[in-house]
A and B are shown apart, each in its own frame.
Chain A
Amino acid sequence: MNIESIIWLIPFPPLIAFFLIVLITNRRKKASHTIAICAALISWLLSLLVYWFASSIDNLGQNPIVSSIPWIPTGDSWLQIGVQFDPLTAVTIFFVAWTVLMIFIYSVGYHNFGHPKGDHDRPGLPPHGATVSDVHGHKNLVPSIEPMYSRFFAFIGLFAFGMYLLVVSNNLLTLFIGWEIMGLCSYILIGFWYAKLSARAAMIKAFLTTRVGDVFMLLGIVYLYSKTGTLYFRDILYNPEVLHELGTTASGFLGFSVAGLIGLLLFIGAVGKSAQWPLHVWLPDAMEGPTPVSAMIHAATMVSAGVYLTLRIFPLLAAGMEHGHPTQIMNIIAFIGTFTAIFAATIAIAQNDIKRVLAYSTISQLGFMFAAIGIGAYIAAAFHLVMHAFFKALLFLGSGSVIHGMEHGIYHTGEHIDPQDMFNMGGLRKRMPVTFITFVIGGLALAGFPLITAGFWSKDEIFADAFGHNHWVVFITLALAALLTAYYTMRQITLTFLGESRTDAAEHAHESVWTMTLPLIILAFFAIVLGWVGIPEDFPFIGNIIPNYAHDFVGETLLAEPETVNFEFHPLITSIIVSLGGLGLGWIVYRKIKSGAVDPAKKALGPIFVILENKYYFDELYDFLFVKPAYRVAENFSYKWMDRKIIDGAIHWVAQMSIVIGSFLRNFIDKPIVNGFGDWVGESTKKLGTVFRSIQTGRVQQYMLLALVTLAGFTALLYYLLVAGH
C-alpha cells in the first residue's frame, strides 16, 4: 500500500465508528467505546506512520505528498478533491492524532464506565449518582454511568472524522466540509445534556455565532473560485504568478487587493471558529458540554482549525507584501489577535468557574497565534498552535478530573455546591496527586514557565518575532497578556490545588480512574518535551543541543522560507519576567483564601473587576444589538405584520371574497332560478294532479263516456284530416 492511500484512509475509521455505533452497538456501551477507541487508535497509527514517513522526505514543503481524484464535473473540467501532506499538515495531524486519542480514552473514565446506572438519571441530563449498598448495609452515593454513553462516542467519532478531513484536505472545499461537520458536532455536543436549558441556549449560541463566520468564509471560497477557477491549495498558494496577480489586483472594496479581500472573508470564518473578538461569545458558554468535548472541540482541535486555515492561506494573506511590511489584511489579523489576547486574558482573571477560566484562556492563546500570523511570524504561530493544543487539552482534561473529584466529594458529603467553582476547592493536591502534577505542568506550559515548558518556547518565539520586526504595540500588548495569563493560571492552580480545603467536598475529593489519569500523564509529557524541538539555535548554552526542528520543518511549507530573527535578550527577559511575575503575583494574592472569602482582586480592582466578571457585558451588548432586535423583528415585523397582516390578511381576503361570491350565487342564482325551477316543477305537478283528480270519479260509466267522446273526437279529427281535407 502506498503512502497516498494511507493518507486517504486516515479520516475514515472514526466515521465508520460513528455509523457502527449509531446503527448497531448503540445499546451496548462497552462495544461502543471499544469501536470508537479502536477507530481513533487506527487513525492515530496511520497518522504517525505517515508523519514518520513524511519527515524522512527532504524538502517536504516543496514536494508534499499529494493525491487527488476527480469528484464533481464542472462544465468541461472536473473539480478535484484530494489529500495533501506537507509540513503544516504534518504538525497539525501530529497534535490532532494525539489529543483525539487521549480524549477518547479519557471519555471512558469521564462518563463513569463501569459504574451502575443512576437512580434518577435520564437521557439529556448529566448523571446524578447511584445508591449502592456495601457489605455492611451502608448506603453510599457513587457516580453513575452516563445514560447516553454510546451516543457520546458516536458523535466524537464523527467529530474526529471532520477534523482529520480538514487537516488532510488539499483544497478549500473538502476543508470546508470538514469544518462544517465539526461545527455540527460542536453544536450537538455542547447540547449533549439537552435537558438543561443553559446547554440548549449555549448550543444555539455557538451554532449561530460560528455560522456568522462560516457564511463569510463560504463567500471567500466562492470569490476565490471565481477569481482563480480552482480551490486547490497548490495551484493558488504555491503559484507566485497567481499570488502576484491576486495581490496586485484591486478588489474595489475599501482598498483591499483581491487576495486581501479573500483573505479577509476566510479570516472572518476563522474568527468565528476560533472564537476571536468580536465572535468570541460562544466559546465560554460552550463549556456547558461534557469536559472531553471542551477539551477536544473547544481547546485542542476545532478552535485550532481557524488558526490552521489562516496559516494555510498565509501566502494569500502575504500576497502583495513589500519590503517586509505587512499587508492591510495582516494588520487586521494582528489587531484582532492582539486585542483578543489581552481582552480575553483580562476576563479570565475574574472568572470563578474552572472551565470558564480555561475557555477565556483558549480565546486569549488563539489570539496570540493570530497576532503572530498578523506580524508574519508564521512558524511561531504554527509552533504555538501545536504546543497550545497539547497543554490546553491537558488543562481541560485536568479540570474535568478535578470536577469529577469534587463531584465524588459532593456525593460523599451531600453538600449543595457548584463542583466547578474554584472557591469551593483548595487543597486538592493531597487528594488528587496525579491530576495536581499534570495540571501544574499544563498550567506552567500555559504560563510560559521558562526553559522547561513547551509554552515558553512557543510564546518566546512570538515575542522574538514581534520584537525583531519592531511591532512594538503587538509586543507590549502580548507581553501584558502573557503576564495576565501567568497570573490567572497561578490563581487557578492556587485556588484549586494549594492551600487548605474550603469545603468538605474538597476534603473528600478522590483521584480519578486510570483511564482519565493516563491521558493526563501522556499529554503532560508532550507539554514539556515538545517545546524543545523549537529552541532557537542561537539561544545561549542550550541552543545547539537539539536542532530547531520546528523552524526548519514547518518553515518549508512556505515558498519563501521566513528568515530567523536574530536572538536578542530583550524579548527573552520580557518573557521570563512576565511569566514568573504573573505566577508569583497569582500565588501571593490567592495563597491564603479562606472558605467563603471574597476574591481579593475584587477589593483591589473594584468596579473594573465587576466589568471583567461580566465579560465587558458583551453578552448583554449582543443581546441588545442582535438578539432583542431579532426578537422584535420576529414579533413585530415577521409575526404581527408579515404573517398576521399580509399572509393571513390575504387568506382572509380570499375567504371573504369567496363568501361574497358564494352568497351572490346562492341568493341570485341558486335560490331563485335552480331551486325555483325545481319547486315550480313539483308545485305544477301537484296542481295539475289536483285538477285531474276531479275527473277521476271512480265511476266506470263516466270513464267509458269519456272514452267514447274522445274516440269520437279523434275519429272526427281523423276523418277531417284524411277524408274531408282532400
Chain B
Amino acid sequence: MMVPISWYLIFAAALFSIGLFGVLSRKNAIAILMSIELMLNAVNINLVAFWRYSYSLEISGQAFAVMVFAVAAAEVAVGLAIFISVYRRRGTISADEIDLLKW
C-alpha cells in the first residue's frame, strides 16, 4: 500500500511554510538563506512526489530536482559571497540593518 500523495504535499507545504516563516522572520541573513533552502527543498519534494505518482516512466521529475539542487547551490554561493561583501562594508549581516534599497 502506497502512502497517498496528499501526505507528501502536506509535508512539502509545511516545510515551505517553515521556510517562508524563516525568511520573513529571521534577522540573520545566513538563517534567511537557510530558510530559502528549506523552501527549495519543499519544492523538490513536490516535484519528486508528482513525478512518482504521474510520470514514473520518465525521469523528468528527478532531473528537475537535480536542476533545483544545482541552482540552489549556485544561489547559496552567490548569496554567501554577497553577505561577506556586505559584512565587510557595514559590519553586520542583520537583515534589518541592510536597508540599502532606501536612499
Within the complex, the shortest CB–CB distance from A552 to chain B, in Å, comes to: 125
Flag A682-704 by CB within 8 Å of B: 1 or 0 each.
00000000000000111111011
> Across the interface, do A696 and B24 meet the contact criterion of CB distance under 8 Å?
no
B contact patch SS: loop
Within the complex, the shortest CB–CB distance from B43 to chain A, in Å, comes to: 16
> Across the interface, do A701 and B102 meet the contact criterion of CB distance under 8 Å?
no
B9 at the interface (CB under 8 A from A): no
> Across the interface, do A701 and B23 meet the contact criterion of CB distance under 8 Å?
yes
> Across the interface, do B20 and A697 meet the contact criterion of CB distance under 8 Å?
no
B95 at the interface (CB under 8 A from A): yes
> Across the interface, do B23 and A696 meet the contact criterion of CB distance under 8 Å?
no
Closest to A693 in B: B102
With a cutoff of 8 Å between Cβ atoms, the chain B residues found around residue A697 in the complex are: 99, 102
> Across the interface, do B99 and A701 meet the contact criterion of CB distance under 8 Å?
no
Flag B15-26 by CB within 8 Å of A: 1 or 0 each.
000001001110
A560 at the interface (CB under 8 A from B): no
Please provide the chain B residues from 74 to 103 with a CB less than 8 Å away from any CB of chain A in the complex: 95-96, 98-103
A604 at the interface (CB under 8 A from B): no
**A703 vs B102: C-alpha distance in the bound complex, in angstroms?**
12
> Across the interface, do B95 and A696 meet the contact criterion of CB distance under 8 Å?
no
> Across the interface, do A698 and B24 meet the contact criterion of CB distance under 8 Å?
no
Closest to B102 in A: A698
Given contacts A704-B23, A704-B24, contact A699 B100 (CB under 8 A): no
A647 at the interface (CB under 8 A from B): no
> Across the interface, do A699 and B24 meet the contact criterion of CB distance under 8 Å?
no
A705 at the interface (CB under 8 A from B): yes
CB < 8 Å: which of B24, B32, B99, B101 contacts A708? B24
Within the complex, the shortest CB–CB distance from B18 to chain A, in Å, comes to: 14
Within the complex, the shortest CB–CB distance from A89 to chain B, in Å, comes to: 109
> Across the interface, do B20 and A696 meet the contact criterion of CB distance under 8 Å?
no
**How many residues of A are in contact with the other chain, CB < 8 A?**
10
Within the complex, the shortest CB–CB distance from A466 to chain B, in Å, comes to: 122
Q: How many A-B residue pairs have CB under 8 A?
A: 30
Flag B26-59 by CB within 8 Å of A: 1 or 0 each.
0000001000000000000000000000000000
CB < 8 Å: which of B23, B32, B99 contacts A698? B99
**A704 vs B23: C-alpha distance in the bound complex, in angstroms?**
9
With a cutoff of 8 Å between Cβ atoms, the chain B residues found around residue A699 in the complex are: 95-96, 98-99, 101-102
With a cutoff of 8 Å between Cβ atoms, the chain A residues found around residue B24 in the complex are: 701, 704-705, 708
Within the complex, the shortest CB–CB distance from B26 to chain A, in Å, comes to: 8
> Across the interface, do B102 and A708 meet the contact criterion of CB distance under 8 Å?
no
> Across the interface, do A701 and B20 meet the contact criterion of CB distance under 8 Å?
no
Given contacts A705-B24, A708-B24, contact A700 B102 (CB under 8 A): no
**A260 vs B23: C-alpha distance in the bound complex, in angstroms?**
126
> Across the interface, do B101 and A698 meet the contact criterion of CB distance under 8 Å?
yes
A contact patch SS: helix
> Across the interface, do A700 and B20 meet the contact criterion of CB distance under 8 Å?
no
**A708 vs B98: C-alpha distance in the bound complex, in angstroms?**
20
With a cutoff of 8 Å between Cβ atoms, the chain B residues found around residue A698 in the complex are: 99-103
Closest to A699 in B: B99
Closest to A703 in B: B101
Given contacts A708-B20, A708-B24, contact A701 B101 (CB under 8 A): no
CB < 8 Å: which of B96, B100, B102 contacts A696? B102
Within the complex, the shortest CB–CB distance from A86 to chain B, in Å, comes to: 112
Within the complex, the shortest CB–CB distance from A698 to chain B, in Å, comes to: 3
Closest to B95 in A: A701
Max chain A Cβ within 10 angstroms of own Cβ: one of B24, B25, B103: B24
With a cutoff of 8 Å between Cβ atoms, the chain B residues found around residue A700 in the complex are: 95, 98, 101
**A699 vs B32: C-alpha distance in the bound complex, in angstroms?**
13
Within the complex, the shortest CB–CB distance from A398 to chain B, in Å, comes to: 110
Within the complex, the shortest CB–CB distance from A703 to chain B, in Å, comes to: 8
**A705 vs B101: C-alpha distance in the bound complex, in angstroms?**
16
**A705 vs B25: C-alpha distance in the bound complex, in angstroms?**
10
Within the complex, the shortest CB–CB distance from A657 to chain B, in Å, comes to: 55
**A90 vs B3: C-alpha distance in the bound complex, in angstroms?**
148
Within the complex, the shortest CB–CB distance from B39 to chain A, in Å, comes to: 11
With a cutoff of 8 Å between Cβ atoms, the chain A residues found around residue B100 in the complex are: 698
Within the complex, the shortest CB–CB distance from B38 to chain A, in Å, comes to: 15
Closest to A697 in B: B102
With a cutoff of 8 Å between Cβ atoms, the chain B residues found around residue A704 in the complex are: 23-24
With a cutoff of 8 Å between Cβ atoms, the chain B residues found around residue A696 in the complex are: 101-102
Closest to B20 in A: A708
Max chain B Cβ within 10 angstroms of own Cβ: one of A699, A703, A704, A708: A699
With a cutoff of 8 Å between Cβ atoms, the chain B residues found around residue A708 in the complex are: 20, 24
**A708 vs B20: C-alpha distance in the bound complex, in angstroms?**
9
Max chain A Cβ within 10 angstroms of own Cβ: one of B20, B100, B101: B101
**A707 vs B8: C-alpha distance in the bound complex, in angstroms?**
26
Within the complex, the shortest CB–CB distance from B88 to chain A, in Å, comes to: 19
Within the complex, the shortest CB–CB distance from B99 to chain A, in Å, comes to: 3
Within the complex, the shortest CB–CB distance from A374 to chain B, in Å, comes to: 113
With a cutoff of 8 Å between Cβ atoms, the chain A residues found around residue B98 in the complex are: 699-700
**A700 vs B96: C-alpha distance in the bound complex, in angstroms?**
8
Closest to B26 in A: A701
**A697 vs B101: C-alpha distance in the bound complex, in angstroms?**
8
Since A697-B99, A698-B100 are in contact, a sample of 15 more A-B pairs with Cβ atoms closer than 8 Å, ordered by chain A residue number, is: A698-B99, A698-B101, A698-B102, A699-B96, A699-B98, A699-B101, A699-B102, A700-B95, A701-B23, A701-B25, A701-B32, A701-B95, A701-B96, A704-B24, A705-B24
Residue numbers of B with Cβ under 8 A of A are 20, 23-25, 32, 95-96, 98-103
Residue numbers of A with Cβ under 8 A of B are 696-701, 703-705, 708
Sample 21 A-B pairs with CB under 8 A, ordered by A number. Answer: A696-B101, A697-B99, A697-B102, A698-B99, A698-B102, A698-B103, A699-B95, A699-B96, A699-B98, A699-B99, A700-B95, A700-B101, A701-B23, A701-B24, A701-B25, A701-B32, A701-B96, A703-B101, A704-B23, A704-B24, A708-B20
Q: 7 tightest A-B contacts by CB?
A: A698-B102, A698-B99, A698-B101, A705-B24, A701-B95, A699-B99, A701-B24
